[in-house]
Amino acid sequence: MLVAAFSFLAGAVVHYVENRPTSADSVDAGFYLDMVFHHQQAVEMSLIELGDGADPVVRAFAQEIVILQQYEIGRMEERLQEWGLAHRVEEDTAMAWMDAPIRAREMPGLATDEQMRALRDAKDAAADALFLDLMAEHHPAGAHMAAFAAEHAGDGGVRELAARMARNQSVEIAEFAQTASRLGFDIVIEPFEPADGEHDDHGS
Instruction: Confirm if 19 and 82 have CB atoms less than 8 A apart.
Output: yes
Please give the C-alpha separations between residue 173 and each of 116, 134, 135, 204, in angstroms, as whole numbers: 20, 11, 8, 20
Task: Quick: pLDDT tens for 49-108.
Answer: 999 999 999 999 999 999 999 999 999 999 999 999 988 888 899 999 999 999 999 999
Task: Quick: pLDDT tens for 133-180.
Answer: 999 999 999 999 999 999 999 999 999 999 999 999 999 999 999 999
Which pLDDT belongs to residue 200? 42
Which pLDDT belongs to residue 14? 41
> Domain 23-182, CATH 3.40.109.10 — does that match?
no
User: Looking at 16-20, 82-86, 122-126, which range is the least confident one?
Assistant: 16-20
Which pLDDT belongs to residue 195? 59
The angle formed by the CA atoms of residues 110, 114 and 119, to the nearest 5 degrees, is 80
Q: Is the pLDDT of residue 190 over 70?
A: yes
